[in-house]
Amino acid sequence: MDLTKLTTERRNTKTMHLDELSSLEILTIMNEEDNNVAKAIKNELSDIDVVVQEIIKSFNKDGRLIYMGAGTSGRLGILDAAECVPTFGTNPEMVQGFIAGGEKAMTVAVEGAEDSKELAINDLKSINLNENDIVIGIAASGRTPYVIGALEYATSVNATTATIACNKNAEISKFAQFPIEVDAGPEILTGSTRLKAGTSQKLVLNMLSTASMIGIGKVYKNLMVDVKATNKKLVERSKRIIMEATDCDYNIAEQTFNEANQDVKLAIVMILTGSNKETAMLRLKEGKGFIKNSI
């Protein structure tokens, strides 16, 4: 295995004397290097858009979005999946993340887990992966066997496959229909891919999940209309969203929110169309969940 060809493993010429710098100098270089991440992602927007469209296709077939990764890559996939539930009101099965080594690997390294294709296959078999799903393999190095195993199995059941790698000509790209490769240059701390590579992955994941959820009607204008009010803060946020979307006052927002069984989207349609809950539900169904098509 020749790691010297991987950008993520090369030494950064700007930080050859990193240990001799002051903390402010280190922070300045880190900030400068982080600025390169967004620029690198900008170059790959067309590939990212293609994957967004594939995710939307899967969702429209009642398929699922499945992230697969090891280490930081796996943790970031699980984080993105977990945050879809409160933000977009999805069920936990709709977007899922798996990490090599299982839940234990979220906090401690599990030796050898990332080198096992079989672990990935078992993880995907456990959720009965099928042709309606899309699997996105995440690997900074672009060569993680766990991810390759996941992509191979996904292909065998005719699921859609995509990847996020932080090196060009990544090995995992060969196993995916829709690869994304973001090269933001070598890390300031050689090989520490939780830095720029991790930031790159997080930003791309933000794009994929957010744009895909917008694409299936979970956003109205720029408001989170499918947010679930699972605590006091989110209850108040829900009411503010209703007020912003309809220009109604707090009392109307609160009353309609409760009439709609705390369904923000439904409450908005009720107010904008002057209809009762049942009629608004029918309008939303006919509009395929999009408020703009239901009013």
> Which of the residues are catalytic?
83, 114
Distance CA 79, CA 243 (A): 30
How close are the terminal C-alpha atoms of the chain, in Å?
Answer: 58
Sign of CA dihedral 276, 282, 288, 289: positive
Distance CA 173, CA 165 (A): 8
Whether 160 and 179 have beta carbons less than 8 Å apart is answered as no
Output Rg (C-alpha) for the chain, integer angstroms: 22
Pairing of β 65-69 and β 134-139: parallel
Distance CA 193, CA 142 (A): 11
Distance CA 222, CA 155 (A): 36
- Go through 257-275 and write b for each residue having 16 or more CB atoms within 10 A of its CB, e for each that does not: beebebbbbbbbbbbbeeb
Pairing of β 95-99 and β 65-69: parallel
Which tokens belong to 291?
């408020």
- Go through 174-211 and write b for each residue having 16 or more CB atoms within 10 A of its CB, e for each that does not: ebbbbbbbbbbbbbbbebebbbbbbbbbbbbbebbbbb
